[in-house]
Amino acid sequence: MNVRYPKAKESSLTLAPSIDWDTDTIKAMLVKTAEAYDPADQFVADLTAGNIVARSAALANKTATNGVARAANLTFVAPPAGQTCNLILYKDTGSDATSPLIAFIDTGTGFPIATNGLDVQIQWDPAGIFAV
């Protein structure tokens, strides 16, 4: 059910709070599969406490050409073993209370992601991560 959060869609239309894919610090997080997609969630702080397994560094080489979001593949460095995870993209403002959620990803090759204590590689679809 890969889906964009409704408030992220609204942000791209109203610019409040704005998300600029090209210039903002966009990160990914691995969340336990117990963290179900909730369209009412807007910020990282809205997620269930304890369900965030790992956070990535900022996505690199981001582009938003023709409404398609792309970025370089990324690596989660040695997330804790024994977790089954989905992925959430978010804009990192430095505070979970104001860091808006962008997309919830739980389908595709390798999903859900099983962690074993080793690095987890995320290879985005060449067609893009998502489109608006």
Strand residues in the chain grouped as ranges (E): 3-4, 26-32, 52-55, 63-65, 68-70, 74-76, 84-91, 101-105, 113-114, 120-122, 130-131
pLDDT at 9: 72
Domain that holds residue 79: 3-131
Q: Tokens at residue 1, please?
A: 């059910």
- Interval 25-71: pLDDT, tens: 999 999 999 999 999 999 999 999 899 999 999 999 999 888 889 99
Between CA 127 and CA 108 the distance in angstroms is 13
- Interval 93-128: pLDDT, tens: 999 999 999 999 999 888 999 999 999 999 999 899
pTM: 0.90
Higher pLDDT, 132 or 22: 22
For 121, residues 6+ apart whose C-beta sits below 8 A from its C-beta are 73, 74, 75
| Domain count for the chain | 1
One-letter amino acid of 53: V
